[in-house]
Amino acid sequence: MTTAFLFPGQGSQSVGMGAGLADAFASAREVFAEVDEALGQHLFKLMREGPEDQLTLTENAQPALMAVSVATARVLKREFDVDVAAASFVAGHSLGEYSALCAAGAIPLAETARLLKTRGQAMQKAVPVGKGAMASLIGPKTDLALAEAAAAAGAEVGVCVVANDNNAGNIVISGEKAAVDRAIEKAKELGARAIPLNVSAPFHCPLMQPAADRMAEALAGVTIAAPTPPVVANVTARPETEPEAIRRLLVEQVTGRVRWRESVAWMAGEGGVGRFVEIGAGKVLTGMAKRIAPEVESLSLNTPEELEAFARG
């Protein structure tokens, strides 16, 4: 069966994530130790014990989520002889794209951890607290056309764009607070529910340009190899293996839309994927994949028991 591995993004973090893997497998402990050393902080202790408000900080959540995903991939390979390289594609949601690239051999683990620490700090600093906002548009009437119309209404008073096209019924808008508030009103008029998100900054919108500039600097000094398998990029929703294109897309991703619905639909359609496997913390992407491509098997691997069952199956 053709498989694509999916790597979760921010919001999937929780205190205790990765602890079961670390307790069961030396290969997972190696990953967490290497990330701690690369960052010069006790990140795994924070992941295991909290406090939650510290783990949720963007600069901590991003490398932490990557560490759990890469630890899961390493355990799969080392303990169960299941290699990400044998899959058809990898894809990650926002920061998860870095996890995917690391697991596919494109960027070394320590470098990936440092890049995500920088990315988290840069995204946090790009917009003063309170100036930006994000909102989730949900419900059966919510589709991309509705979200675009709501964002256009918001854009009449400030920056407002569609940030995450997750799946039909779940689309996120981002921008200046007054503009997002106007977009929320419009979305409700059009029949969607709109929920303001408790986020520290307006991600994936033009206000993040300072963070994109910072990531361009950081990525310029990084050697990127061709990933095996190809990564389906957030910005294009198509597979990519060329290192310089990947570098450019990672910069564009900071201000650009996460085209997740299109990415999963492409993999399930033209890509011929018959199974989506989410590896890392939580099950958010598994739920999205089931809604986007219900005909394709979708599952998540979090625990030692799930990894063993997957390897046997």
CB neighbours of residue 143 within 10 Å = 16
97 and 8 together in one domain:
yes
Answer with the one of 199, 215, 243 that is the final residue of a domain.
199
Task: Report, as an integer, the average pLDDT of 214-228.
Answer: 97
Residue that is written with structure tokens 């019924």 in the block:
169
Number of domains making up the chain:
2
Query: Which strands form 3-7's sheet, in the order they lie side by side?
Result: 239-240, 231-232, 89-92, 3-7, 275-279, 297-301
Domain ends where: 199, 218, 237? 199
Indicate if 36 and 137 belong to the same structural domain: no
Beta pairing class for 231-232 and 239-240: antiparallel
Residue 300 has pLDDT above 90, yes or no: yes
Q: Are strands 132-138 and 193-196 parallel, antiparallel or unpaired?
A: antiparallel
Report the candidate in 80, 87, 2, 82 with the shortest Cα–Cα distance to residue 297. 2
% the chain with pLDDT above 70 = 100
**Same domain (yes/no): 138, 170:** yes
279: phi then psi, degrees, rounded to nearest 5: -120, 125
Indicate if 73 and 176 belong to the same structural domain.
no
CA distance 146 to 149: 5
pLDDT tens digit sequence for 43-90: 999 999 999 999 999 999 999 999 999 999 999 999 999 999 999 999
**Each residue's pLDDT tens digit, 230-253:** 999 999 999 999 999 999 999 999
Beta bridge partners of 3: 275
User: Which is more confident, 312 or 17?
Assistant: 17
Judgement on whether residues 239 and 299 belong to the same structural domain of the protein:
yes
Task: Round to whole Å and give the CA distance between 230 and 234.
Answer: 13
- Residues 237, 185, single domain; the answer is no
Average pLDDT of the chain to the nearest whole number: 97
**Residues 230 and 303 placed together within one structural domain of the fold:** yes
Give the tens place of pLDDT for each residue, 275-291. Answer: 999 999 999 999 999 99
What CATH number should be reported for the domain holding residue 141? 3.30.70.250
Measured on CA atoms in the order 43, 47, 50, 55, is the torsion positive or negative?
A: positive
Q: Report DSSP letters for 268-311, one per residue.
A: HTTT---EEEEESS-SHHHHHHHHH-TTSEEEEE-SHHHHHHHH
Predicted confidence (pLDDT) at residue 198 exceeds the cutoff of 90: no
Say if residue 120 is in the same domain as residue 260. Answer: yes
Look at residue 200 and tell me whether its pLDDT is greater than 90. no
> 9 with 116, same domain?
yes
For residues 107 and 98, what is the distance between their CA atoms, to the nearest angstrom?
8
Find the CATH number of the domain harbouring 303.
3.40.366.10
Are 113 and 38 in contact by the 8 Å Cβ rule? The answer is yes
Of 141, 175, 199, the last residue of a domain is 199
Does one domain contain both 114 and 42? yes
215 and 92 together in one domain: yes
- Which amino acid makes up residue 141? K
Residue 85: which domain range?
3-126+207-312
Question: Do 263 and 245 belong together in one domain?
Answer: yes
Residues 258, 261: Cα–Cα separation, whole Å? 9
For tokens 């009437």, what's the residue?
141
Residue 155 CB neighbours (<10 A): 16
Return the active site residues.
94, 204
Q: Does residue 1 have a pLDDT over 90? A: no
pLDDT tens per residue across span 131-164: 999 999 999 999 999 999 999 999 999 999 999 9
pLDDT band (50, 70, 90) for residue 313: confident
Instruction: Say if residues 91 and 98 touch (Cβ distance below 8 Å).
Output: no
How much of the chain exceeds pLDDT 90, in percent? 97
- Answer whether residue 175 shows pLDDT above 90: yes
